[in-house]
A and B are shown apart, each in its own frame.
Chain A
Amino acid sequence: MADYLTDEEQADRLKRWWDQNGTALVVGVALAVAAVVGWRYYQTYTTNRDNDASAAYMAYLEARETGEPTTDLLATLDSEYTGSGYHVFALLHRAADQVEEEDWEEALAYLERAAELTDSQVIADTARYRAAKVLYQLGRLDQALAQLAKIRSAGFRVDVAELSGDIHIANDDPAAARAAYVAGVEAAGQETANPPNIELLELKLSSMVDQE
């Protein structure tokens, strides 16, 4: 029976098995080792990179706070960490600083760049919402509405509706404004947990005379 093999036969089988499978085994193990090493290396690399971006951003915030020059730090974030979370935050800060200076065009440029560079839908939508505020300020009402129309994040529905309503009012279109405010109140009603504060929105709506 095949169960009883001589040493020679066993050695022979082992050898044949090795001839058939040896290469695959060596390649498999080598691949696994390479994958583990590569993955670990990649993890360390990205973590270090994130930490460096974090440090650069914190240094920028610190300098901004104390009034020291920020140009170099911003240049580093712009060039080395383009599109990273920290770069986008820095863009949002610069936009807010420009708003403070009432340099609306510059603020708009930073916000549009932030929306374009980030991978995060919700951060991009935050930037678009703010860009719409700036366009509203500039009186470019159609462009403001177009920015709002691009927002996909569900959490912004109430805010988008309220701002659209305000823009329609500025555009002398009360019917559209009313529709937007009503949509905002309805959207707020669908938020079960932590519904947004819509006192002002409701007051805006109740201040409008019915046109029937």
Chain B
Amino acid sequence: MVMQKMRAGAQGLAAKVLMGLVVFVLAVTGFGAIQLFSGSEPVVASVNGDDITERALQAEVNAHRRAYEDLGQDLTQEMLDSLVDRGAVLAAMIDQALLAQAADDLGLSMADEAVQARLRAEFARQGGFDEALFRNALASVGHTPTSFHAERFVHEVTGQLRRGLSDTAFLTSRELRRASEVVAQKRDIAWLTFRVPSLMDEVEVSDEEIAEHYDAYQENYVSEERFDFDLVRMPRSSLEADIEIGEEEVVAAYEAEVADAEPLRRAAHILLEVSDERSPEEAERILAGARASILAGASFGEKAREMSEDPGTADDGGDLGPSGRGVFPAAFEEALWALAPGELSAPVRTEFGVHLIKLISEEAEDPPTLAERREEITARLRREEADRRFQSVLDDFDKLAFEEEDSLLGLAGEFGLAIEPLDGATRRTREGLLAEKAVRDALFSDEVLVEGYNSSAVATADAEALVARLRTRHPPLQRPLEEVKEAVRLTLKEFGARGLAEQRALRALEELTGGKAPSDVSGEHGLSWERADGFRIDGQGVPLPVAELAFSMKAPGPGERNTDLARLDDGSQAIVLLTNVALADYGALPEADREQLATMFASSAGPRDLAAMLRTLRGAASIDAKDLSDPG
């Protein structure tokens, strides 16, 4: 009886504790836990249980594409696709997820207000935080302010982790010496080339072989597809002739200009140059000291006279006189324009050294007179009006070309323009109008070539509005054997010569390894050895495949030599002979080389340590990623 009661009590207790746990889980995770059970978006990778969704990947891919487009390059969709590899983007996102988890494990964090402050700084324009800019930027990447804030938090703490590792990495002078003696080493090499062009004469090709090859590879011998287009175009210059700019407009523009004119800034500075004896950090420290003493009451002018290394201004207490924008280096200008009159900047680095800057005063310039400005203002207003008209012509072109989509007659009639031919264009033509990507994209679009419609309106680089349509399409044609016979013969000769080069080079290599003297080997083939003694890995004058092979070959012992075979770009074969490897003496290298090596190795220390950490995190993680190498 007692036992039974206890058991019942125990069961009840277990149930209650279980109930308590459910309450606990819901309270801690919020109702987020419930989402675990509902269906969710497609996931492309899971990193230790954190999912990367298809949608997040696509957003990141789009961001990469936009970054390339912003470079303003002439990029087609296909080029963008090849530049932005989804697999590589996903790999970077996986790394980022691993870093985020590592940052969390390390307790890296940032208060909401601090994240907010950084967002505000990033989306600040003159006069403070730009709410519209912020919201637009978010909308373009599919974020809400909340999700963006969360992403920024992760961005900040992973940034701390990345920099905490890579900014603290270093290179010791001993490592630098060791790396330099290896990289700047010199190798004595010789190479003997069996050249395809000279061997082609030895290859006989019969008419039967030519016919056989032509039959087998007919698709290689077709003419290119050609297109004849009709164009309607209107030069922008024709819109400028009758523009009249009234006096009132000129006066209004002049007054606006005067009102907007920014006062000049009269600055003074103390310059410390940077040299081998004084690092930028050192100069900054000295100037920070000077700054503190000026803030404590010392005179800027006296400090400048005492320590400034700008001979032009030191005697004047550093006074640079009044200046507008665009005079000083960018970092200097940015610092100067951030100051209120009388204020001091922090030390600023430019190509001249490190500066401490003071804004003495703002000085309004005497504005230029209306007479002085009339000509330029009139020209500007004329240009702006022409821009407006041109834009409206482009809009009309687009509209008319679309409304009457299977003829250019209406458009040409409306503007009194002639229809001009552009004949014989191919997809590879890059001359005249077709030198421009925008024109090619419009002419070779599906709507023009496949549907047979008018193109959309294009503004060309020569400032013309242009619409085109396809008149005739000349499909690719099989070229007859007679026409391509010599081309086929050359192809086959080249092919045969490659075989010959390889065959002879392999035999010669065997003879060399068997102990035959190099001069005998070359003499037998009527060839001669080329040599480069003391050749460095960054040297010139040796074919790249030969140099690459020579620097991957093992060092020979004293009095010995090592041999190998390199294949050149045109199929020629080169026997490479390595007779000596001499490590460099770091101290004896020219100063410029030492500096270059130091910069190179020092800058790789941070990425190297970071990469080691990422490899470690990847190795220890459970990562389940979709293979993105196949599309679909």
Contact residues of A with B, CB < 8 Å? 20-21, 24-25, 28-29, 31-32, 35-36, 39-40, 46-47, 50-51, 53-55, 57-58, 66-68, 84-86, 88-89, 92-93, 95-96, 99-100, 120-123, 125-126, 129-130, 133-134, 136-137, 153-156, 158-159, 166, 169-170, 191, 193-194, 196, 200, 202-204, 206-210
The 22 listed contacts between A and B (C-beta, < 8 Å) are A25-B16, A31-B20, A32-B24, A36-B28, A50-B107, A67-B284, A84-B107, A86-B107, A96-B169, A120-B105, A121-B616, A133-B172, A136-B172, A154-B620, A155-B617, A156-B612, A193-B91, A194-B618, A196-B608, A206-B551, A208-B554, A208-B555
Please state if B182 and A200 are interface contacts (CB–CB under 8 Å): yes
A144 to chain B, nearest CB (A): 10
State whether A93 and B111 are in contact (beta carbons under 8 Å apart), knowing that A21-B9, A155-B613, A155-B614 are contacts in the complex: no
Please state if B611 and A51 are interface contacts (CB–CB under 8 Å): no
Please state if A206 and B554 are interface contacts (CB–CB under 8 Å): yes
Please state if B108 and A86 are interface contacts (CB–CB under 8 Å): yes
Closest 4 CB pairs of A and B: A155-B615, A155-B616, A85-B106, A32-B20
Please state if A93 and B23 are interface contacts (CB–CB under 8 Å): no
Which of A36, A133, A209 makes the CB contact (< 8 A) with B175? A133
How far apart sit A191 and B24, CA to CA, in the bound complex (Å)?
Answer: 43
- Chain A residues with Cβ below 8 Å from B173 are 137
State whether A39 and B28 are in contact (beta carbons under 8 Å apart), knowing that A67-B284, A209-B557 are contacts in the complex: yes
**B335 CB–A CB distance under 8 Å:** no
How far apart sit A40 and B30, CA to CA, in the bound complex (Å)?
Answer: 12
Please state if B288 and A67 are interface contacts (CB–CB under 8 Å): yes
How far apart sit A35 and B583, CA to CA, in the bound complex (Å)?
Answer: 67
Taking chain A's interface residues, is the majority helix, strand, or loop, or is none over half, making it mixed?
helix
Please state if A51 and B111 are interface contacts (CB–CB under 8 Å): yes
- Chain B residues with Cβ below 8 Å from A170 are 174, 178
Considering only CB atoms, which chain A residue lies closest to B109 in the complex? A50
- Chain A residues with Cβ below 8 Å from B109 are 47, 50-51, 53-54
Please state if A137 and B168 are interface contacts (CB–CB under 8 Å): no
Please state if B554 and A196 are interface contacts (CB–CB under 8 Å): no
- Chain A residues with Cβ below 8 Å from B289 are 67
**B19 CB–A CB distance under 8 Å:** yes
In residues 155-186 of chain B, which contact A (Cβ within 8 Å)?
A: 157, 160-161, 164-165, 167-170, 172-175, 178-179, 182-183, 185
**B39 CB–A CB distance under 8 Å:** no
**B487 CB–A CB distance under 8 Å:** no
Please tell me the size bucket of the interface on B: 35 or more
State whether A203 and B551 are in contact (beta carbons under 8 Å apart), knowing that A122-B616, A193-B618 are contacts in the complex: yes
A90 to chain B, nearest CB (A): 9
Which one of A28, A137, A153, A159 has the highest number of Cβ atoms from chain B below 10 Å of its Cβ? A28
**B102 CB–A CB distance under 8 Å:** yes
- Chain B residues with Cβ below 8 Å from A129 are 609, 612
Taking chain B's interface residues, is the majority helix, strand, or loop, or is none over half, making it mixed?
helix
Which of B9, B110, B167, B172 makes the CB contact (< 8 A) with A20? B9
In residues 19-70 of chain B, which contact A (Cβ within 8 Å)?
A: 19-21, 23-24, 27-28
A24 to chain B, nearest CB (A): 5
How far apart sit A89 and B106, CA to CA, in the bound complex (Å)?
Answer: 11
Considering only CB atoms, which chain B residue lies closest to A37 in the complex? B27
Please state if A137 and B172 are interface contacts (CB–CB under 8 Å): yes
- Chain B residues with Cβ below 8 Å from A39 are 24, 28
Considering only CB atoms, which chain A residue lies closest to B552 in the complex? A206
For B555-587 the 0/1 string (1 means CB < 8 A from A) is: 111000000000000000000000001010000
Please state if A120 and B106 are interface contacts (CB–CB under 8 Å): yes
How far apart sit A39 and B111, CA to CA, in the bound complex (Å)?
Answer: 20
- Chain B residues with Cβ below 8 Å from A51 are 109-111, 114
Please state if B554 and A210 are interface contacts (CB–CB under 8 Å): yes
Please state if B174 and A137 are interface contacts (CB–CB under 8 Å): yes
How far apart sit A121 and B105, CA to CA, in the bound complex (Å)?
Answer: 11
- Chain A residues with Cβ below 8 Å from B13 are 24, 28
Please state if A154 and B553 are interface contacts (CB–CB under 8 Å): no
- Chain A residues with Cβ below 8 Å from B107 are 46, 50, 53, 84-86
Please state if B551 and A89 are interface contacts (CB–CB under 8 Å): no
B9 to chain A, nearest CB (A): 6
Considering only CB atoms, which chain A residue lies closest to B112 in the complex? A51
How far apart sit A204 and B609, CA to CA, in the bound complex (Å)?
Answer: 20
**B619 CB–A CB distance under 8 Å:** yes
Please state if B16 and A154 are interface contacts (CB–CB under 8 Å): no
Considering only CB atoms, which chain A residue lies closest to B95 in the complex? A194
A174 to chain B, nearest CB (A): 11
Which of A55, A96, A99, A154 makes the CB contact (< 8 A) with B111? A55
- Chain A residues with Cβ below 8 Å from B9 are 20-21, 24
Please state if A66 and B288 are interface contacts (CB–CB under 8 Å): yes
For B107-122 the 0/1 string (1 means CB < 8 A from A) is: 1111100100000000
**B17 CB–A CB distance under 8 Å:** yes
How far apart sit A138 and B102, CA to CA, in the bound complex (Å)?
Answer: 32
**B5 CB–A CB distance under 8 Å:** yes
Please state if A68 and B288 are interface contacts (CB–CB under 8 Å): yes
Please state if A126 and B612 are interface contacts (CB–CB under 8 Å): yes
User: Could you list 7 further interchain pairs (A-B, Cβ under 8 angstroms) beyond the known A67-B287, A85-B108, A85-B164?
Assistant: A36-B23, A55-B111, A85-B106, A123-B165, A166-B178, A196-B611, A206-B555
How far apart sit A70 and B490, CA to CA, in the bound complex (Å)?
Answer: 75
Please state if A92 and B616 are interface contacts (CB–CB under 8 Å): no
Considering only CB atoms, which chain B residue lies closest to A160 in the complex? B612
**B485 CB–A CB distance under 8 Å:** no
Which one of A89, A170, A206 has the highest number of Cβ atoms from chain B below 10 Å of its Cβ? A206
B562 to chain A, nearest CB (A): 10
How far apart sit A29 and B537, CA to CA, in the bound complex (Å)?
Answer: 75
Which of A24, A54, A57, A100 makes the CB contact (< 8 A) with B12? A24
- Chain B residues with Cβ below 8 Å from A95 are 168, 170
